[in-house]
Amino acid sequence: MSEPVAREKILKGINASPGICIGKAYLVDKEGVDVVEKYSIKDEQLKGEVKRFKAAVKRARDEFHTILKNRPEELQRDYILETHIALLDDKMLYGKTIEAIQSEGVNAEWALKKIVSSLKATFEKMGDEYLKERASDVVHVSDAIMRNLVGVASKNIAAIDKRVILVANDLSPADTSQINLARIKGFITNRGGKASHTGIMAQALEIPAVVGLETATTAIKNDDLIIVDGNTGTVIIDPSEQTLFEYEERKSGYEEYKAVITRESHLRAETTDGTQLEVMANIEFPEEVISVKNYGGDGIGLYRTEFQYMNRPEFPNEEELFEKYHEVVELMTPQPVTIRTLDINGDKAIANHSGLNEANPALGLRAIRYCLRKPEVFKTQLRAILRAAAFGNVRILFPMISAYFEICEAIRALDEAAESLEKDGLAYRREIEVGIMMEVPSAVILADLLADKVDFFSIGTNDLIQYALAIDRGNQNVAHLHQPLDPAVLRLIKRVADVSREKEIEVFICGEMAATARHIPLLLGLGMDELSMNPQSIPRAKRVIRSLSVSDARLFAREALKKKTARGVFEMIQATYGDIIGELEYH
Amino acid sequence: MAEKEPKKSRETTIINELGLHARSAAQIAGIAKSSIANVWIQKDAEKADASSIIDILTLACAKGTKITIIIEDLADIKLLNAIVDLVDSGFEE
């Protein structure tokens, strides 16, 4: 027998999305998603390849000139842009790339990437901060050429032609919106906590993700074979035969388990004492409606609308927005679709909105604040939503309400949008339910006032926890303190639930908290009317609900609220419901 | 092929605040591009092609750096003088 080979390496991180995958690693560049394929060019085709490169440079130059021409008169002298134009045919970039194509017989994209990487390295070694930054000019210019080489549609990561596991320092929403997601088996990142964007994205896609690994991008090389266990937060690099075998088994076990609970998910979730609870889905893309249907969602509890605003030079117009909303509403009807209005924040930067360079974006001009400041942007979206409402059951949800006047202004804007549609003679429906996100502590405190203006509250636990506990969930130094079970958080949720009951409006919960099986007894006991979560968590949530009784859950919640620490609440859950949930959770 | 002996060179000093940055390098390169033979910028033992912005930038010439502009063909003498004037004027910044 040969000795066991000690080549396999194990990394531990945070399990951000369940599931197991085995595959080849694909490292994403620091600057973002940037994938360039390498292939050889036959001698007789080298001339053509050089020509292709030159044509791309020419198109990039034309682009720059167009930008320059369209500048207002007083800005005609744009030295940066002029320098970029001059850089386009700089010997060290242009000449060297052509040389590399010819001497190495490789495609233009690869040659360009190689030359730019070495130039970047040269600049980055410089002592002078200013000169160091000049690398960005070179990168900018080469990006423009690259774009013209590969064409916008197939840019960057879209060029991946096999299913891979993405390895990155961090993935921003802008990065992930460029990925051809069907090609990704799993995500692993150095940074991020449990509720980071990468995790939410992976859950939406139903692929495993492990985040907060710190050293993933240095420990893993391109094409390494890796196992990602999103259930336990483990990543194994270069696994041994035996480990591979073991994980193949675990993988099929997990998939079997998922299939079983999915089968019964199309039925309503009813507690043992006869209360029906709606289990809704959070979605970001219209395509996700399919998984909502597959997993038996009772409707859409949160439709995030930011994606249409990302990665583009200008805001979408009303038709584009309407088209997407209409698609979702029509597919879901008669079930409700809760459309949340634009919630831009620091994490989801909009390309065409300059001036959003805030030191503290989470506390800055975001969501409803931004929309009220930009009435035209807001109105365009409100009109699209009201038009879509004519085709099914739409509810509108305003994010980040932190003061009474904000909901008044938002409703006024909605009325104005309806009036303008009336004037234009377009089909729309104004009699829709209006709700607000409960995610800022001030809104919770003012819940009684706000309740008079709306039909429902939707508790966004991720942000509510962040603002209530002053924890940045993306910061791995404090991410462990982002505790849904913190007594302060539970009291806030209780207040929202109590006010809702008193004012006879509905109360929903749509944060990640609702997706965690062990939190469900508590949420049920606190009086939630609806839970909304990522689609693939729905079957398990329904299963948990079917095993609970509301009267027991109420008593339990009352006791749990007496606990002084998150730990105390957690232990009480384990002691009371550990058996039920343990059976349902997958190990 | 061995480089030709420089037929003419002039020394000058960078006086503008930012040194040889992207814009000033672009101005030099713009002039040097129309040369008949090679035009070089020398700083200590390092030499950069004056027609390449990137190459000039990699010399990392801060304010106060002494540089030598070198031409290989006397026909480029006008260019040489123009570049030196440009540097001496602090790139009209």
Q: Which domain holds residue B15?
A: 8-92
pLDDT tens by residue, A387-421: 999 999 999 999 999 999 999 999 999 999 999 99
* pTM (whole model) above 0.90: no
B21 among known catalytic residues: yes
Contact call for A128 and B60, based on CB within 8 A: yes
* CATH numeric code, A9-34+160-240: 3.50.30.10
**Mutation choice for B interface testing from A133, A134, A142 by most B CBs within 10 A:** A134
Q: Count the neighbouring beta carbons within 10 Å of the beta carbon of residue A410.
A: 24
Give a yes or no: residue B1 inside a domain.
no
Give a yes or no: residue B50 inside a domain.
yes
Task: Tally C-beta pairs within 8 A across A and B.
Answer: 55
Q: Which of B7, B8, B10, B21 is catalytic?
A: B21
Query: For A86, which of B18, B30, B60 is closest by C-beta distance?
Result: B30
Give a yes or no: residue B3 inside a domain.
no
For residue A193, pLDDT over 70 is answered with yes
Max mean pLDDT among A315-319, A413-417, A472-476 falls in A413-417
Q: Count the neighbouring beta carbons within 10 Å of the beta carbon of residue A422.
A: 12
Q: Which of A21, A371, A482, A510 is catalytic?
A: A510
Contact call for B30 and A137, based on CB within 8 A: no
d(CA A213, CA A188): 8
For residue A40, pLDDT over 70 is answered with yes
State the nearest Cα–Cα gap between B30 and chain A, in angstroms: 8
Q: Tell me what the pLDDT averaged over chain B comes to.
A: 86
Mean per-residue pLDDT for A48-60? Answer: 92
Predicted pLDDT of residue A349: 47
Give a yes or no: residue B2 inside a domain.
no
Calculated CA dihedral for residues A306, A309, A310, A312, nearest 10 degrees: 170
Contact call for A91 and B23, based on CB within 8 A: no
Please tell me if residue A121 touches chain B, with a CB cutoff of 8 Å. no
Structure letter (DSSP) for residue A166: E
Q: Count the neighbouring beta carbons within 10 Å of the beta carbon of residue B93.
A: 11
Q: Residue A533: what residue type?
A: M
* CATH numeric code, A273-584: 3.20.20.60
For residue A267, pLDDT over 80 is answered with yes
Contact call for A90 and B52, based on CB within 8 A: yes
The answer for residues whose C-beta is within 8 angstroms of residue A384's C-beta and 6 or more apart is A318, A319, A321, A322, A325
DSSP H/E element including A225: strand A225-229
Strand ranges for A135-208 from DSSP E = 164-168, 184-189
**Mutation choice for A interface testing from B24, B28, B57, B59 by most A CBs within 10 A:** B57
Contact call for B26 and A83, based on CB within 8 A: yes
A398 and A368 in contact (C-beta within 8 Å)? yes
d(CA A577, CA A556): 10
For residue A72, pLDDT over 70 is answered with no
Q: Residue B37: what residue type?
A: A
pLDDT tens by residue, B47-69: 999 999 989 988 888 888 999 99
Please tell me if residue A122 touches chain B, with a CB cutoff of 8 Å. yes
ipTM of the complex: 0.81
Chain B residues touching A131 at Cβ < 8 A: 19, 21, 57, 60
**Superfamily, domain A44-155:** PtsI, HPr-binding domain (1.10.274.10)
State how many domains chain B has: 1
d(CA A19, CA A384): 37
Please tell me if residue A129 touches chain B, with a CB cutoff of 8 Å. no
Q: Tell me what the pLDDT averaged over chain A comes to.
A: 86
Instruction: Give the length of chain A.
Output: 587
Mean per-residue pLDDT for B2-8? Answer: 58
Establish whether domains A9-34+160-240 and A273-584 are of one fold: no
Q: Residue A301: what residue type?
A: G
CA-based max dimension of chain A: 84
pLDDT band at A155 (very low <50, low <70, confident <90, very high): very low
Mean per-residue pLDDT for A461-485? Answer: 88
Max mean pLDDT among A254-268, A467-481, A514-528 falls in A514-528
Question: How big is chain B by its Cα radius of gyration, in Å?
Answer: 12
d(CA A434, CA A397): 6
d(CA A102, CA A45): 10
Residue B21: alpha-carbon gap to chain centroid:
12
State the nearest Cα–Cα gap between A121 and chain B, in angstroms: 11
SS3 A401: coil
Give a yes or no: residue B30 inside a domain.
yes
DSSP H/E element including A303: strand A300-303
CATH number at residue B65: 3.30.1340.10
Domain boundaries, chain A: 9-34+160-240, 44-155, 273-584
